[in-house]
Structure formats: C-alpha cells, structure tokens
Amino acid sequence: MDADTLIQWKARIFDYQRHVKESQPPRQKTLFELADLGIAPAHVEPDTIDPFRLIAQPMSFWRKPTFDKGQACLYFVIDRTNPSLLLYTGESCQSDSRWKGTHDAKRYIDKYIALHRQHQLSPAVSIAFWFDAPVERKAR
C-alpha cells in the first residue's frame, strides 16, 4: 500500500466511525418488562462505552511484571493520531495475560505500524481497557 492509499483508507475509516458514533443506534422494543419475566437488566448500555475517553496504555503493557492474570475487560486498540481511529476491539477474562500469548491482533498492529514507518508517518497506537465488563464471557 502506498502512502496516499494508506491516508485515504484511514480517512474512509474515520468517516465511517464518525458516522456510526454520531448516528443513533436502533433500539429494540420489548413487549414485556424484563423484570416481570425474571430477567435482570443488562449490566451496562454498550453505547455508553467511549473507547476514546478511556486511559491509554502503551502497546507494550503486557511486558510489565505482574502477579496476577488480570480481570475481565473489553479492550480497544486506538491510533491516537489526528484523527483518532479505533483499530481493534476485543474482550478477555484475563486482561494481563491475554496479550502475553499468541494474538492475531499483535501481528495486525505490528504491520499497521510498519506500514506507517515505511512511509515516514508516525502512528500513536495505544490500548485502553474498560474493566467494568462482566466476568461471564457470554455477558461480555
């Protein structure tokens, strides 16, 4: 991919992500109140999670020494150059150990950064975690 194609691709991704963020998502209507059916309400409204407002961590976060495997989370890989782009979204029940093993996203991010460096562009790739995620995978 040449530099112009990369820049145009990023612009299209940004436009799409901005459109999704600014548009109202469709809302499911219910015939019955969930509580009347013995169903607990959702843990959180997904539309309230803003990956761009979470605290950014370096992509090398998983190399730091730790004494536990972490906790359940959603995570977001973001290129924080202007304009910021959401590159990857994932979930894990072990936030610290998930990236220590083989992870396809690591290769994707490495290639993304290498392509930018090849064209003398500077990405600012970081990861952000949302730790209010349910422990049960299906609920995440």
Question: What is the average per-residue pLDDT within 105-121?
Answer: 93
Q: What pTM was computed for the model?
A: 0.79
| Integer Rg of the chain from CA | 18
Sheet of 73-79: strand order equals: 56-58, 125-130, 73-79, 85-92
Domain boundaries in the chain? 3-130
Higher-pLDDT residue of 125, 48: 125
**Quick check: 89 and 75 in contact, CB under 8 A?**
yes
Distance between alpha carbon 64 and the CA centroid of its chain, in Å? 20
Question: What is the average per-residue pLDDT within 37-51?
Answer: 67
Q: Write the pLDDT tens digit of every residue in 52-91.
A: 999 998 887 777 766 556 788 899 999 999 889 999 998 8
Helix intervals (H) in the chain: 3-22, 104-118
Q: Write the pLDDT tens digit of every residue in 9-20.
A: 999 999 999 998
- Within 8 A by CB and 6+ apart from 14, the residues are 83, 85
pLDDT at 34: 52
Tokens describing residue 50: 């803003």
